[in-house]
Amino acid sequence: MKRTLVRFRNSALRRFIRRHEKYAPILFFIGGFIFDMLTLGRIDRTYDLVMLCLHMTNLSITLYLYNLADDGRWKRTFLERFEEYFPLAIQFFFGALSSAYVIYFSRSVSLSKTVSFFIILIFLLIANEFLKQRISNKYLQFSVYFFISFTFFTFMIPVLISEMGTTIFFISGLISLGCTLTLIMVIYSVSPSTRKEIHLGKLISIILSIYTIINIFYIFRLIPPVPLALDDGIVAHYVEKNGDNYTVTYEKNDSNIFWREYRDKFVFKPDENVYIYSSVFAPTDLVKSIIHRWKWYNEETSEWELVEDISYEITGGRNDGFRGYTYKNNIWPGLWRVEVITTEELVLGVIDFEILIDENLEPKNLVERTF
């Protein structure tokens, strides 16, 4: 009776997918995205770590199964009935992993210079809808797999060893490269159809090119410093630490500007300090120095000039991020920005504001908030 019920369900699912074949890819894409949105929270949480590892492991296994299906390897086995689901499963895991990275990266207040890398993730997320028609293209499927794998290890290794930096990033990339090339070589060696479809040297060249490009992105600081993320960044009139809490007094932005909490027109009074408050998420046990890089825009040269670097340390593990602030009183009118960066000068976010010095102006919408 149970076997009959399982066959009926499989048959019903197969009929549904075939009937709605045009929409099945986007349904699996949306399913993977919604699944992560509802279940993922913070990268160092056990559940998140387990789910990301399962996604990556299942993606690798499914790629192996899918590429051997054309050779009839699963004929007369229990896997034969699932062969038509392999492309959808690959798409689901591609979507789930890339959407997870988007969720983690989007925690930053400002993506600033890292927006290019973020756009690549968004592109993967959207392109995933159309991937089913081209999933048989092995050059494409392994290229996307390597990019996803590279991002996976740059997230995972710093969390597991509670350390991050340039060396860790390059080690993560080499591990990803080794895993991807191993999977390709295994499939290539046991799958005659794969050997007919691809030129091994060409595929490896593509993978090495992607590896090189990602490292160039890192060298030029175009990749967010995962797994750190900027939760809050505010230019304030006053910041005070009371026990374990920070009280921040700032000008609240207009309600229609939902993407920024503070008002970017800072009304400065003589002998006043300008404070920058920031809250940085870091995984448990990860200790890192954070730098506030104060810059002023010189209209004569049309360039941002470095004014001062002020640093403070964070230790990971707090749900709402680890807090700190810096301040300056030697300030003058004009456009200012404070880059929140790591000691490797990787940008977590940018806090932009304009200093206004006018006796007739008063701060607007002053609020006091406790973090």
Summarised one tens digit per residue, pLDDT across range 126-168 is 655 555 555 567 888 899 899 999 989 988 888 888 787 888 8
- Non-local (6+) Cβ contacts of 195 within 8 A are 188
Three-class DSSP category at 302: coil
| Domain ranges in the chain with CATH number 2.60.40.1930 | 229-370
**Residue 258 pLDDT:** 60
**Residue 15 pLDDT:** 60
CB atoms inside a 10 Å sphere around CB 297: 15
**Residue 14 pLDDT:** 59
The answer to whether 316 touches 259, Cβ cutoff 8 Å, is no
Summarised one tens digit per residue, pLDDT across range 290-312 is 899 999 999 999 999 999 999 87
Top-confidence residue, 251 or 361: 251
Q: Is the peptide bond before 227 cis (omega within 30 degrees of 0)?
A: yes
- Non-local (6+) Cβ contacts of 20 within 8 A are 27
User: What are the C-alpha distances in Å from 285 to residues 158, 231, 316, 317?
Assistant: 10, 18, 5, 6
**Residue 260 pLDDT:** 73
Average pLDDT over residues 204-218: 92
Average pLDDT over residues 323-341: 91
Top-confidence residue, 230 or 266: 266
CA–CA distance, 327 with 235 (Å, rounded to integer): 9
Top-confidence residue, 111 or 198: 198
Q: What percent of the chain has pLDDT over 70?
A: 74
User: What is the distance, to the nearest Å, from the Cα of residue 310 to the centroid of all Cα atoms in its chain?
Assistant: 26
Contacts 24+ apart (CB under 8 A), 62-66: 62/86, 62/89, 62/90, 62/93, 63/90, 63/141, 63/142, 63/145, 63/183, 63/187, 64/183, 64/186, 64/187, 66/90, 66/135
Average pLDDT over residues 343-359: 86
What length does the chain have?
Answer: 371
Model confidence at 242: pLDDT above 70: yes
Average pLDDT over residues 46-75: 91
Model confidence at 316: pLDDT above 60: no
Average pLDDT, the chain: 80
**Residue 232 pLDDT:** 82
Beta bridge partners of 37: none
Summarised one tens digit per residue, pLDDT across range 185-200 is 999 999 999 999 999 9
Spell out the CATH class of 229-370.
Answer: mainly beta
pLDDT tier, 8 (very low <50, low <70, confident <90, very high otherwise): very low
CA–CA distance, 280 with 232 (Å, rounded to integer): 7
Summarised one tens digit per residue, pLDDT across range 35-53 is 666 676 666 678 888 888 9
Summarised one tens digit per residue, pLDDT across range 163-177 is 878 888 999 999 999
Task: Note the pTM of the prediction, 2 decimals.
Answer: 0.74
